[in-house]
Amino acid sequence: MTTNEIEKQLRARSVREMSDLAEEITNNLREFTRKNTNQNRSGMNWYYKGIKPHKMNTDSPEPVDPWDHLDWHQLSTLMFRNLKENLLTAMVEKKSKELLSKIDLLG
């Protein structure tokens, strides 16, 4: 097995781990809303930004920070995409270093 193949496998494993995490978080949110509201929702509303809008933009009838509804699959996809964008390279590097350390211990 070449180092390129090993890196591909480490990358694929990292992607699977992130996908599983995004699904787990989404399932926890889905169950939390069902348990605490007795409603079976199709998703959740999210703000585009991190704060709730308190005033309207005077030039536009739309709120400064409008809501957007994401169904559970969209939410999971969004989390996965952001995890992958932010963490994939660092995860592969860490897994590579751990693997090299194990190989070094065996040698």
Q: What pLDDT sits at residue 57?
A: 55
Q: Which two tokens stand for residue 101?
A: 């350390």
Q: What is the pLDDT along the chain (107 residues), one digit of tens a residue?
A: 788 899 999 999 999 999 999 999 999 999 999 999 998 899 998 876 666 656 555 566 655 666 788 999 999 999 999 999 999 999 999 999 999 898 888 87
Q: What pLDDT sits at residue 42?
A: 93
Report how far apart, in Å, the C-alpha atoms of 39 and of each of 27, 42, 47, 70 are.
Answer: 14, 9, 21, 16
Give domain limits for the chain.
3-106
Q: What pLDDT sits at residue 65?
A: 62
Q: What pLDDT sits at residue 22?
A: 98
Report how far apart, in Å, the C-alpha atoms of 55 and of each of 47, 50, 81 are.
Answer: 14, 15, 31
Residue 68, helix vs strand vs coil: strand
pTM of the model: 0.78
C-beta separation of 13 from 33 below 8 A: no
